Amino acid sequence: MAERLGLAGEAAQAYARDIVAADFGLAGDAAIIARAAEELAKRGATIDAARLRAELERCAAEAKRQIGAAP
């Protein structure tokens, strides 16, 4: 998402932290998907919820893989 929003470096990391924090809210994945869709729409890009959910699941699997690979 950060890349699609044109964010890099610290701005991308800060965005990622914000998104992870949203996951701890009341709505979980639905809140993340809604926020991502809203921010993309503000910038004129549209991605359907199914694709956002698939990307979220892909990223979660990658994060789990990386954590599992950590020493």
Classify residue 36 as exposed, middle or buried by CB count within 10 Å of its CB (0-12, 13-18, 19+). Answer: buried
> Residue 9 pLDDT > 90, yes or no?
yes
Question: Rounded to whole angstroms, how far apart are CA atoms 25 and 31?
Answer: 8
**The model's pTM:** 0.57
Q: 10-66 pLDDT, tens per residue? A: 998 988 888 777 666 546 788 888 888 888 888 888 788 899 899 889 988 988 888
Question: Rounded to whole angstroms, how far apart are CA atoms 52 and 1?
Answer: 9
Lookup: tokens for 69: 């690979």
pLDDT of residue 22: 64
pLDDT of residue 70: 61
Q: 53-70 pLDDT, tens per residue? A: 998 899 889 888 888 876
